[in-house]
Amino acid sequence: MKKKYFLILSFLLTISSFAQNSTITLKGKILDNNTKVPIEAATVFLTSVKDSAVIDYTISDKNGFFKMDIKKINKPFFLKISYMGYETLKKEIQTLTEDRDFGILNLIENQNNLNEVIIKNDAPPIRIKKDTLEFNASSFKIRPDANVETLLKQLPGVEIGTDGKITVNGKEVNQILVNGKPFFDKDGKIALQSLPSDIINKVQITDTKTKKEELNKEASTSNNASINLTIDEDKNKGFFGKFMGGYGTGDRYESSALINYFKNKRKISVLASANNINSIGFSMDEIFDNMGGGRNSSMSYNSDGGSFTINGNRYGAGKGITRSSMLGLNYSDELIKDFETSGSYFFSNSNSDNRNRTKMITFLPTGNINRESEAITNSESFGHNLNFQVEYKIDSTATIFVAPKFTKSNTKYSNNSAEKSFNEAGELVNSNLAQIFDESDGLGFSNAINFNKKFKKKGRFLSLSFYNENSQEDLSSLNKTNTMFFLNSDPDIVRNQIRINRNTKDVYTSEIEYAEPITDSLNVKFGIVYSTESKVDQRNTFDFDANSQGYSNLNAEQTNHLSSNKKAFRPEVGFSLEKKKFNLSFSSGPSIVTYNANSFYLGTNSNVTSNYVLPYLNGRLSYKLSKSKSIYLNYSYDVDFPEAREVLPVEDLSNPLSTTIGNINLKPSRNQWGYLSFRNYDYATRSGYSIYFGGNLYEDQVVSSVLYDSNIKDITTFENVSGTYSSWFGANWNKSIKKEAHNFKYGVSFNSNYGLSKGFVNGASFEANTLRLNPKVNFTYEYGELLSINPTYNFTYNDSKYTNYRISSASSVIHRFNIQTTNYWPKNWVFGNDFGYTFNSNIADGFKKDFYLWNTSLSYSFFDKKMTAKVKVYDVLNQNQSATRTISPTNIRDEENTVLKRYLMFSLTYKLNKFGAKEKPSGNRMIFH
């Protein structure tokens, strides 16, 4: 293993040595022509006179200095300096073969700010505005057929992890828009995968704002980033899309179609896909587009290997091999002046088959329990999802925003399982055979309404908002179980019954906020929040009647009605302070809460009613030390209430081996949450780092108290404990180096979790300290448009230490190494390989501890690159597997599920691009090519 790591390190050092070629240094200082004040964050860039291609660029520091290390230039080029509000400085230089100090360079303030002049070839590669980081897409050279995700990977400070998570200068991106509107979904995964990069003009990055903050032009209180992709005017009219179909060994298939029609503000997109390879089915990636499980996907894949998430909705049924199909429609337009709309509709269908094998050790003070189980499952789901947004600007001061969402689903699930439990002596204590058939229908509706009114006095505004969430699920479950006991005379439990469940949830929240400016930067805010939350869980259980041959005998012990209602009234007072360097916001107030839970069980009504006056507090601080350095601090104090099943004295006997009963004396759980981060990204050196720390401190946290009998049947209730906490810490560093055709990108990250949890087993309390360490290393080397090499290494260490428990500790170590190579030579050919190795040190006997996953593809483009033929092989070595270990405070669980194995597939892709001619410029807006 050490030899492997040494070879990998040697490989990286060898490649990086190519970057150490002889260079020359350019430097200078940028000042305001009138005030002679240094200008920070001005963009200094070099472009070729011949074709305006960007040669290199940098950013001035807080003292106005810039420094650029480049290779010698033996052709005419321009030195350009750009800064918002100033005229672009431009100098033509014939050649540059030695170091040069340009001395003082003065920028002249632009006297014509109102008449916007856009000269495309003079647009700087990067521009740092007050609260926006803007990249000029054409300045970053990538393959003509690349998608938006590939473009983002080229931008300095932007990182896309193997899990699809995007960060900008260490800040996580939680929203991606196209021309300011969602493209199917706000998380933007479809836009990244399906839109071609050559239609993008600008990539704009800002701090994510709420709708209220956006409408009132307030500073963001979020710690997340938002990306807006603006479409090039030349490409904002016309059709473009892609059609793909493929068939392979083992009857594997895939097909997809994406059609886009753009005409100024009107955008219509249709998406369709069908496959049986655990894939989302739509990607313009030319190498590993639909090989589900590959590490290159930007979709949010769940660890269960078959499902994926779009717009917060899960598609694909779960573990195993999934057949899925989808149809989607996205629409946005400005129907009339100042009336903008956007929306999307999804239909999805999926069917998953899985075989599960599990071994679990449960730690008890009296002796460990060992469980072994096997299960064969099938699930099929149908879903409809409709959402849209309407924004109407009533006038220049008032805006109303409405965003409703509708969902409808049907799911069928079958499970055939067998489970055995052994005591510490290895004796068989019980076994359980089960056949379960579930069918559920779900309906959901939510809506957000926001009205904002700004007044003449800057900073004064009134905001009214309303939110509702309503859902209903009807579940019919047929259960046939046979539970047997072997060590005493307890009778076996045989069940043949149908359970009818109806679960409803209704949430309504209304808020009013008024802001009054005290000074230009200080606002005082007053608000009232009123919310109600109601939940009802109704279960009726009917046993099989041999006489009537139907399920007609009501089982009173397994029939119950639970409901809860929470009403909260919270007056708030706070302030926001917005300065050039920092933003500070604070709000607090009492939460006056009435909580009621009641049940009807075995002819008895139970009721729990409590009234509380609880504190609420939230504060944020964002401080910009410089254009590149910032600090973010957030603190909140809030209270969570227990669920009805946790607080009501109702026995849940649905599982023959596990009974749950509530504790009427439970208290609400109080939670203090804090977060601190420091970020520094220097665009001059294209390197940066971030450090963050956060944690939760709980008081009266609700935890389980489990009591096992001699048959390893358990009874679970709930207790309050205090002094528990969870914390996390992380850091990352990345750097980009560009040397002519050579591009290097290094990245190192580290994140960890540490926490203390408490619980009760067989009447005895215990504590568990859990630690997780996860360092990662990644490196990317690109040689022009011909070659890309991307090795990554990921190490995970988990450790739990116990107090007052049968064992003192449990731990595991996981190593993951991947290398992805893509070759774009010869012309029109693409050859890609994605090779990975995973090793888990602590998997139980009987489960494989390591495996290799190698995916490869070869494609050829023809017919002016409109057609692509591809052959790809998933899991070349036929070693893919799903063996996982989960360590919790009370048990260790090893699990293995069905995974997709080797297949070969041939596919054909056709691309359609038909853009209209651009309109002639008018007014004061001029465009030069």
Question: Does 637 score more than 80 pLDDT?
Answer: yes
Question: Does 94 score more than 60 pLDDT?
Answer: yes
Model pLDDT, residue 923: 36
Whether the Cβ atoms of residue 345 and residue 399 lie closer than 8 Å to each other? no
Whether the Cβ atoms of residue 551 and residue 523 lie closer than 8 Å to each other? no
Q: What is d(CA 402, CA 406) in angstroms, rounded to the nearest whole number?
A: 13
Q: Which of 135-139, 280-284, 578-582 has the lowest mean pLDDT?
A: 280-284
Q: What is the pLDDT of residues 768-790, one digit of tens each?
A: 899 999 999 999 998 888 899 99
Q: What is the pLDDT of residues 416-475, one digit of tens each?
A: 999 999 998 899 999 999 999 999 999 999 999 999 999 989 889 999 999 999 999 999
More confident of the two residues 404 and 292: 404
Model pLDDT, residue 286: 52
Region 601-609: mean pLDDT is 92
Tell me how crowded residue 548 is: count the other CB atoms within 10 A of its CB: 9
Which pair of structure tokens corresponds to residue 798? 């988990």
Residue 5's pLDDT band (cuts 50, 70, 90): very low
Q: What is d(CA 220, CA 230) in angstroms, rounded to the nearest whole number?
A: 21
| Amino acid making up residue 546 | A
Model pLDDT, residue 162: 67
Question: Does 928 score more than 70 pLDDT?
Answer: no
Question: Does 284 score more than 80 pLDDT?
Answer: no
More confident of the two residues 341 and 300: 341
Residue 291's pLDDT band (cuts 50, 70, 90): low
Whether the Cβ atoms of residue 776 and residue 796 lie closer than 8 Å to each other? no
Model pLDDT, residue 281: 61
Q: What is d(CA 918, CA 926) in angstroms, rounded to the nearest whole number?
A: 13
Q: What is d(CA 247, CA 232) in angstroms, rounded to the nearest whole number?
A: 36
Q: What is the pLDDT of residues 106-164, one digit of tens each?
A: 999 887 654 444 444 568 898 887 778 899 988 887 777 788 888 888 888 888 876 67
Which pair of structure tokens corresponds to residue 344? 């999307």
Question: Does 314 score more than 50 pLDDT?
Answer: no
Whether the Cβ atoms of residue 226 and residue 207 lie closer than 8 Å to each other? yes
Model pLDDT, residue 4: 47
Model pLDDT, residue 12: 47
Residue 568's pLDDT band (cuts 50, 70, 90): very high
Question: Does 929 score more than 60 pLDDT?
Answer: no
Whether the Cβ atoms of residue 521 and residue 579 lie closer than 8 Å to each other? yes
Question: Does 15 score more than 50 pLDDT?
Answer: no
Question: Does 835 score more than 90 pLDDT?
Answer: yes
Q: Which of 133-137, 296-300, 471-475, 629-633 has the highest mean pLDDT?
A: 471-475
Region 633-654: mean pLDDT is 93
The residue assigned the tokens 């006038």 is 395
Model pLDDT, residue 293: 43
User: Exposed, middle or buried: residue 43 (CB in 10 Å: 0-12, 13-18, 19+)?
Assistant: buried
Residue 24's pLDDT band (cuts 50, 70, 90): confident
Region 611-620: mean pLDDT is 93
In total, the chain counts a number of residues equal to: 929
- CA torsion, points 360, 364, 366, 368, in degrees to nearest 10? 20
Q: What is d(CA 187, CA 174) in angstroms, rounded to the nearest whole number?
A: 6
Residue 861 backbone zone (phi > 0: left; psi -120 to 50: alpha; other: beta): beta
Using a CB cutoff of 8 Å and minimum separation of 24, what contacts does 35-41 make? 38/62, 38/63, 38/64, 38/65, 39/64, 39/83, 39/86, 39/107, 40/64, 40/626, 40/627, 41/83, 41/128, 41/627, 41/683
Taking Cα atoms as reference points, which of 353, 494, 381, 383 lies closest to residue 438?
381
Classified as helix, coil or strand, 558 is helix
Question: Does 633 score more than 90 pLDDT?
Answer: yes
Question: Does 298 score more than 80 pLDDT?
Answer: no
Q: Which of 61-75, 161-175, 908-922 has the highest mean pLDDT?
A: 61-75
| Amino acid making up residue 514 | Y
Q: What is the mean pLDDT of the chain?
A: 86
Model pLDDT, residue 143: 75
Percent of the chain at pLDDT > 90 equals 56
Question: Does 918 score more than 70 pLDDT?
Answer: no
Classified as helix, coil or strand, 797 is strand
- Cα–Cα distance list, 735 to 169, 257, 547, 680, 685 (Å): 11, 37, 76, 12, 8
Model pLDDT, residue 540: 96
Largest CA distance in the chain: 101
Question: Does 927 score more than 60 pLDDT?
Answer: no
Model pLDDT, residue 240: 87
Question: Does 726 score more than 90 pLDDT?
Answer: yes
Classified as helix, coil or strand, 149 is helix
User: Exposed, middle or buried: residue 749 (CB in 10 Å: 0-12, 13-18, 19+)?
Assistant: buried
Q: What is the pLDDT of residues 497-528, one digit of tens each?
A: 999 999 999 999 999 999 999 998 999 999 99
Q: What is the pLDDT of residues 674-696, one digit of tens each?
A: 999 999 988 878 889 999 999 99
Residue 21's pLDDT band (cuts 50, 70, 90): very low
Q: What is the pLDDT of residues 808-828, one digit of tens each?
A: 787 888 999 999 999 989 999
Question: Does 317 score more than 60 pLDDT?
Answer: no
Question: Does 476 score more than 90 pLDDT?
Answer: yes
Whether the Cβ atoms of residue 659 and residue 713 lie closer than 8 Å to each other? yes
Question: Does 307 score more than 70 pLDDT?
Answer: no
